[in-house]
């Protein structure tokens, strides 16, 4: 028996592969990109931020992910999947207080569409859990870890 409760429990426990198998597709988060503090941009990793107020939340941490842009006019997908890395969490290093999805699109500037994603809808699939969310002592320590995480995501995406 496949039930929505079972799928929700799998996602909340970080068991994305079994949840995806039951869904028959990858579980995703779709939302409107909100302007953040732009601290990711300052350290070389700009992110598209989506509030997770009303969403089912997987375990907090960093995930290999992929993203599509959704047209606001007719809800059509505007591009192929873009490789990315995402953080689900509160951003403890920069004193965040609400749970958000922050997605860094790998090699974003090499793609041929408008790079301003504010107020645009995106669809993000979390594919593989990399590590739990962690508070770093400085932005430079966070930047070093994001480089490691991005390298692992590039290996996963075969980039």
pLDDT of residue 111: 54
pLDDT of residue 75: 63
| Radius of gyration over every alpha carbon of the chain, rounded to an integer in angstroms | 15
Which parts of the chain sit beneath pLDDT 50? none
pLDDT of residue 38: 78
User: Structure pTM?
Assistant: 0.88
Give the CA distances from residue 23 to residues 6, 27, 37, 103, 104, in Å, rounded to whole numbers and listed in that order: 11, 7, 35, 23, 26
How many Å apart are CA 115 and CA 118, to the nearest integer?
9
Give, for 54, the enclosing helix (H) or strand (E).
Answer: none
Nearest to 127 by CA among 76, 78, 68, 62: 62
pLDDT of residue 61: 95
């Amino acid at each position: 028996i496949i039930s929505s409760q079972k799928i929700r429990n799998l996602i909340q426990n970080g068991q994305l592969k079994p949840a995806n198998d039951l869904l028959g597709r990858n579980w995703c988060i779709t939302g409107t990109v909100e302007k953040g503090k732009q601290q990711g941009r300052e350290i070389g990793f700009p992110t598209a931020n989506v509030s997770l107020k009303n969403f089912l939340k997987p375990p907090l941490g960093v995930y290999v992910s992929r993203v599509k842009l959704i047209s606001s006019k007719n809800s059509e997908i505007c591009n192929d999947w873009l490789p990315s890395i995402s953080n689900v969490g509160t951003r403890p290093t920069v004193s965040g207080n609400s749970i958000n999805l922050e997605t860094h699109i790998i090699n974003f500037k090499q793609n041929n569409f408008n790079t301003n994603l504010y107020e645009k809808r995106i669809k993000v699939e979390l594919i593989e859990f990399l590590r739990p969310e962690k508070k770093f002592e400085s932005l430079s320590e966070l930047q070093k870890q994001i480089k490691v995480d991005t390298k692992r995501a590039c290996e996963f995406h075969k980039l």
